[in-house]
Amino acid sequence: MRNFLIIGIAGGLAQILVKKLLAEYPDCNIVGIDSRYIPFFAGRDDIKTIRMKYTRNQFEKVFREYVFDAVFHLARMTHASNNYEERVSQNLIGTKRILDLSKRNKVKKIIFFSTYHVYGALHDNPMFLSEDSLPRASINHPELRDVVEMDQLATNWMWKNQNEIETIVFRPCTIIGAKIKNTMTRYLTTPYAPVCADFNPMFQFVHEEDMALICCHSLKKLPTGVYNVAGSDVIGLDRAREVLEMPSIPIPSFVLHASAKLTRAVFWRFPEYLIDYIQYSCIIDNNLLIQHLGEDIFEYRAKEALLSCKGESDESR
């Protein structure tokens, strides 16, 4: 493989992935597209960046002009955007378009990013959630419906077309690092953010460098399938904020739920469903990934990954 398409090239994780791919495949050519401004990779002949809207005509034009061996789909629109119609268009319709174009144009492999959020943080979650666990995130939070549907769309498409194209669906835990600025890292690095006084859920984190390396290795070492991505160590929310030296405000869970709108307005913007994740654990089983890549694929433990959040960050989806 030497020709790669990265959708969502402006994100922090994509920038790291580009460096990993160039190191592993020195003769490769990379095309990166994004709807956002792309300030990186100027002057590189082996990296072509295109700023464009995620429409059918635009995608078809890209696939007509270039031949790709692998496609990395990193462009899931998060719930930092309140425009539900736009999220559905990009997350669902855009994803189906990319998958079908990849198949039609004989792409060898697709690496698709979902999230562990599809499982949901619920009081009756088992100790570890495997890839076979039901995605229940939208039970209490209908606003997560497009995230769950996007995951199921990619998974169903993967199995339906497994004899024609290899597809990887990643469900990573919270990705953190100096280049990542997502909802959870904003919460963790916000001083005096509220925590549930009567709960201390366990968390898993994967460092941005480890996640990018796993993406790179997936081209050769991972067969078609769904893979949870998380290190083997867990850390309590209280301890995570201590590591980052961030003071918290303990609030009873029933008060926190009742005052969710006020809390978001005063402290920080984050979707209401995140309250469940600072109340109940959502721990994913990484055994399937470890079987193929080995446990030493993770260079950073949870504490080390958390400390990397103190660096300057770029926005990432």
- Residue of 214 and 45 predicted with greater confidence: 214
Domain for residue 308, yes or no? Answer: no
198 within some domain: no
Which residues neighbour 91 within 8 Å (Cβ) at sequence distance 6 or greater?
76, 77, 146, 147, 149, 150
User: Tell me: the pLDDT tens digits for 256-286?
Assistant: 777 666 655 555 566 778 888 989 999 999 9
DSSP code, position 297: G
> For residue 261, is it within any domain?
no
Q: Is the CB of residue 220 less than 8 Å from the CB of residue 24?
A: no
Is residue 83 in a domain? yes
With beta carbons less than 8 A apart as the criterion, state whether 275 and 257 touch.
yes
Reported pTM: 0.91
Rounded Cα–Cα distance for residues 190 and 113 (Å): 26
pLDDT at 316: 36
Looking at residue 70, which CATH number applies to its domain? Answer: 3.40.50.720
CA pair distance 86, 116, nearest whole angstrom: 22
Residue 224 lies in a domain: yes
Mean predicted lDDT score pLDDT of the chain: 88
pLDDT at 109 over 70: yes
**Does a structural domain hold residue 213?**
yes
List the one residue out of 298, 276, 295, 299 whose CA is nearest residue 287: 295
Q: How many separate domains does the chain show?
A: 1
Within 10 A of 205 (CB to CB), how many other CB atoms are there?
29
Quote the domain boundaries for residue 122.
Answer: 3-177+204-233+283-300
What percent of the chain is modeled with pLDDT above 70?
88
**Does residue 276 lie in a domain region?**
no
Q: Is the pLDDT at 108 greater than 70, yes or no?
A: yes
Specify whether the CB–CB gap between 141 and 273 falls below 8 A. Answer: yes
Q: Is the pLDDT of residue 222 over 80?
A: yes
31-48: average pLDDT: 84
| Beta carbons of 225 and 168 less than 8 angstroms apart | yes
**For 7-37, what is each residue's pLDDT tens digit?**
999 999 999 999 999 999 999 999 999 988 8
